[in-house]
Amino acid sequence: MTSTVQRLEKTGSALRSALANQDWAAIGELDLQCRQAVDEAMVESASDEDTLRARMQELLELYRELVSVCHAEQQRLAHELVQLNQSQQGAKVYQLFG
């Protein structure tokens, strides 16, 4: 297994762990590392294309999961913001008549 494939595997594993913990700062950093590792893998001639292909497929599935989790988190935060906005509007009305 080449160092590039090992780096893809290591970075993907760290990204999956950060996703499980919803560590968004780590996810941002690991995303950059994954992109760099993929770029290196595309340039480097792989001696074991099957392993590289498997790692890339795993990474693709991980990114699909990441996008899904991010979308759900975005929806949750949007709902919280709407609730906060409604609460603030209610407080303003109360202050006007209170």
Give the separation between CA 98 and CA 94, rounded to whole angstroms: 5
If 0-12 CB within 10 Å is exposed, 13-18 middle and 19+ buried, where does residue 47 land? Answer: exposed
Q: Where are the domains of the chain?
A: 3-97
Give the separation between CA 81 and CA 88, rounded to whole angstroms: 10
Looking at per-residue pLDDT, the higher value among 2 and 78 belongs to 78
What tens digit of pLDDT does each residue of 54-76 get? 999 999 999 999 999 999 999 99
What tens digit of pLDDT does each residue of 14-58 get? 999 999 999 999 999 999 999 999 998 888 766 778 888 899 999
In the numeric block, which tokens belong to residue 14? 């760290």
In this predicted structure, what is the pLDDT of residue 46?
A: 64
Question: Model pTM?
Answer: 0.77
